Amino acid sequence: MPNTAGRPKRARIVLSGVLVLAGVVVTGCGEARDAGQALGAGPRPQAARSGRVTVVYEARTVKPEDRQAVALIRRSRVLERSAEWVNRALTLPHDMVVKVTADVPPGVTDAVTQPDGRTIFIPPSFLTTIEKAFADVVKTVERPAPFPASEYNTDDLTVLSTEFIFGHEMGHALQRQLLLANLGLEEDAADGFASFYTVNEVGPGPSLAAAVLFDELARKEGQPTLEGLASDHPVTQQRAFNFLCYLEGSDPKKYQKSLVDSGYLPKTRAPLCPQAWAMLDYGWWTQLQPHFSVAFRAQGDEEQKKAHARLIAETEALARRIDEIRNSQ
């Protein structure tokens, strides 16, 4: 997380042992598709049977040095939790498979979504890289104020940040399968889905852990390069602040002290965050609304309606805050 001070800490290992993987383990996620789903749900025709998201662990490809990280993620079920939400809430035109595998396309070193949105690859070595980064963090970085002491350890941070990163890839997959309209870069929208899903469905942990991880990555990257500034991804440190901004904006009263007053989210950014979150929340509910499953439609419509009302209120409140700031200068 940005702006944390250094102090030695010792990691706490949560798992009692390492799961020895063999063969291929397939985890099916979510409830059965609603019977009798009508054609044409949404602005474009949908198949009568919804595509399914399935998580596959290709254990035979996992190297010994990556087994611990893969076992940790598999045991946590964070990939399955996200997949289950999509299966329950949405109607997909195609099946989607999430592969935890070392058998990835050439040049792939981290989590990646195929252009058609039907396959997400998560290399085991990528999970190990995250785990090693947090092993360093918990020893050298003082626990950020918003983080519970019980969760500031290598295993919990690895699991929580992986859930956020997987949310980013799921955002890509949904954009590509559903042909969602973007008003900006797809990478920004994918980060936004990660925040939208985890803040609404999981809580603050994934956003906080991802901010800690990206802050660590930014430190190791050093000064931004021309290639970094030209990337379709935002600058790494900026992404960390975006994660915190959306989280703070989702409940300013709850996070004002731990995020803003403690200095992790600058006070110059914080006034913009409630409206930013409201726009993100309403935007994703609105984008997904035509693709809600029959079973989820009533709940999803209600969430979209509440998000719309909040966006109106937060936009009016932002106008007042801006006037106050301008008048005080």
Q: Render pLDDT for 117-173 as a digit per residue (tens, 0 to 9).
A: 999 999 999 999 999 999 999 999 889 888 889 999 999 999 999 999 999 999 999
158 located within any domain: yes
C-alpha dihedral over 63, 68, 72, 73, to 10 degrees? -20
Name the nearest CA neighbour of 9 among 120, 152, 127, 216. Answer: 152
Q: Is residue 5 part of a domain?
A: no
Position 101 in a domain:
yes
What is d(CA 81, CA 176) in angstroms, rounded to the nearest whole number?
Answer: 21
- The CB density around residue 309, as the number of other CB atoms within 10 Å, is 12
**Domain extent at residue 120:** 24-31+46-328
Burial group, residue 123, by CB count within 10 angstroms (0-12, 13-18, 19+): buried
* Domain count of the fold of the chain: 1
Average pLDDT of 12-27?
32
Residue 224 belongs to a domain: yes
Q: What is the mean pLDDT of residues 104-128?
A: 97
Nearest to 265 by CA among 229, 314, 215: 215
What is the per-residue pLDDT for 58?
A: 98
**Is 7 inside any structural domain?**
no
Arithmetic mean of pLDDT, 166-195: 94
CA dist., res. 169 & res. 175, Å (int): 10
Backbone angles phi, psi at 156, to 5 degrees: -65, -40
Q: Is the pLDDT of residue 45 over 60?
A: no
Q: Is residue 17 part of a domain?
A: no
Whether the model pTM is above 0.85: no
Beta bridge pairs of residue 6: 141
Residue 149 domain flag: yes
Q: In which band, very low, low, confident or very high, does the pLDDT at 8 lie, cut at 50, 70 and 90?
A: very low
- How large is the average pLDDT for residues 14-38? 34
- 223, part of any domain: yes
Q: State both tokens at 160.
A: 């929580």
